[in-house]
């Protein structure tokens, strides 16, 4: 089985393909599409795919794009040609299936070329993740219970210093929000697709390797210094990633249910507080990102108000 890169599809010229597929709804809002592409369609595209790769090929002694066909054939492996074919053929097919099945993926799909032989139909497995289903259940009552418990624990007794909370209300908020989120996480039913977790895990591990190398360590030396094995590190990362994504989707669902919105005035106020003109311009160009942060903060404030 050859794993093909999950980089975003690139759309080229429009071609109509004949294909068949079987769709499976898997747990955790994951969908699997088993696709069969006729060999006739593959052959139609193969010459064009090779020609594109040949134009980009660099071989010593020849200018880019001027490598003769016999030499290009020696330098371009079958796997590279197959990847180019998949890159070109799949976008239209994938888009058609999404539309027909009313699928709404939230990330790039995982593509696996299951079978690819000359003169035979190709078999491709596409796995995608949709937005997880969130069952909020009795989260409001849970939040109220947590607040009551925290307040009871904070009842003042002689000799106890209560000046910190009085002087800094934010400290009180900070004390409440973590137990609230932990309780909500336990109460709400939600399952995150393994595709999402695996992709973020790979990003984190790549960043870790880069950071460790920058300070002159090997990954093995770093793990030894932390008294961890790679499996333990991955397990820790997975738990963190899963909880982080669960909370993101839970807070978004609460915001939707409670009609929590970010108004233009909210963004204008945020931008006005950025004194540096260059930073303010960058923030303005990324208003969607900042709006999502403001909405999340409003949702946290809502939980604190229950």
Output the pLDDT for position 164. Answer: 52
What is the pLDDT, as a whole number, of residue 8?
44
| pLDDT, position 165 | 53
Confidence of residue 17 (pLDDT cuts 50, 70, 90): confident
Mean pLDDT of 111-138: 95
Whether the pLDDT of residue 242 is over 70: the answer is yes
pLDDT at position 56 is 84
**Cα 218 to Cα 224: distance, rounded to the nearest angstrom:** 10
**pLDDT tier, 159 (very low <50, low <70, confident <90, very high otherwise):** low
Residue 265 pLDDT exceeds 90: yes
Give residues with Cβ within 8 angstroms of 127, minimum separation 6.
30, 31, 32, 33, 109, 110, 112, 195
Q: Hunting for tokens 């099945």 — which residue is that?
A: 101
Residue 155: which pLDDT band, with cuts at 50, 70 and 90? low
Per-residue pLDDT tens digits for 83-110: 888 888 899 899 999 999 999 999 999 9
2-129 sits in which CATH class?
alpha beta
Burial of 225 (0-12, 13-18, 19+ CB in 10 A): exposed
Position 10 confidence tier, pLDDT thresholds 50, 70, 90: very low
Whether the full predicted model's pTM is greater than 0.75, yes or no, is: yes
Contacts of 115 (CB under 8 A, 6+ apart): 121, 122, 123
CA distances from 60 to 51, 63, 72 (A): 19, 8, 12
- Give yes or no for a contact between 247 and 188, defined as CB atoms under 8 angstroms apart: no
Instruction: Say what the pLDDT of residue 112 is.
Output: 94
Say yes or no to pLDDT of 111 above 60: yes
DSSP letter at 62 equals: S
Q: How confident is the model at residue 5 (pLDDT cuts 50, 70, 90)?
A: very low
Taking alpha carbons only, the member of 248, 305, 303, 293 closest to residue 266 is 293
- Confidence bin at 18 (pLDDT 50/70/90): confident
Give the residue extent of every domain in the chain.
2-129, 134-187
130: left (phi over 0), alpha (psi -120 to 50) or beta: beta
Tokens of 107: 């990330």
The larger pLDDT score, comparing residue 172 to residue 160, is at 172
Shortest CA distance to 173 belongs to which of 10, 303, 295?
Answer: 303
223 compared with 64, residue with greater pLDDT: 223
Q: How confident is the model at residue 158 (pLDDT cuts 50, 70, 90)?
A: low
Q: Whole-angstrom Cα distance, residue 86 to residue 78?
A: 12
């Amino acid at each position: 089985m050859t794993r093909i890169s999950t980089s975003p599809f690139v759309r080229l010229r429009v071609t109509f393909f004949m294909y068949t597929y079987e769709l499976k709804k898997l747990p955790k809002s994951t969908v699997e599409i088993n696709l069969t592409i006729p060999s006739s369609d593959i052959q139609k595209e193969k010459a064009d795919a090779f020609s594109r790769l040949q134009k980009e090929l660099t071989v010593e002694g020849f200018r880019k794009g001027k490598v003769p066909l016999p030499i290009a054939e020696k330098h371009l492996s079958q796997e590279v040609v197959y990847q180019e074919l998949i890159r070109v053929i799949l976008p239209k097919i994938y888009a058609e299936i999404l539309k027909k099945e009313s699928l709404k993926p939230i990330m790039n799909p995982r593509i696996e070329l299951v079978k690819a032989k000359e003169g035979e139909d190709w078999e491709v497995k596409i796995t995608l993740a949709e937005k997880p289903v969130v069952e909020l259940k009795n989260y409001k009552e849970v939040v109220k219970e947590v607040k009551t418990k925290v307040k009871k624990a904070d009842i003042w007794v002689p000799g106890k210093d209560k000046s910190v909370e009085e002087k800094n209300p934010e400290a009180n908020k900070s004390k409440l929000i973590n137990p609230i989120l932990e309780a909500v996480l336990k109460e709400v039913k939600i399952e995150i697709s393994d595709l999402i977790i695996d992709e973020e895990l790979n990003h984190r591990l790549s960043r870790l390797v880069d950071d460790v190398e920058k300070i002159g360590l090997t990954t093995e030396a770093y793990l030894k210094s932390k008294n961890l094995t790679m499996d333990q590190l991955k397990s820790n990362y997975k738990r963190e990633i899963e909880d982080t994504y669960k909370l993101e989707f839970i807070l978004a669902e609460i915001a939707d249910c409670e009609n929590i919105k970010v108004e233009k005035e909210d963004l204008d106020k945020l931008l006005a507080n950025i004194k540096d003109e260059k930073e303010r311009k960058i923030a303005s160009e990324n208003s969607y990102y900042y709006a999502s942060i403001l909405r999340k903060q409003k949702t946290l404030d809502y939980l604190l108000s229950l």
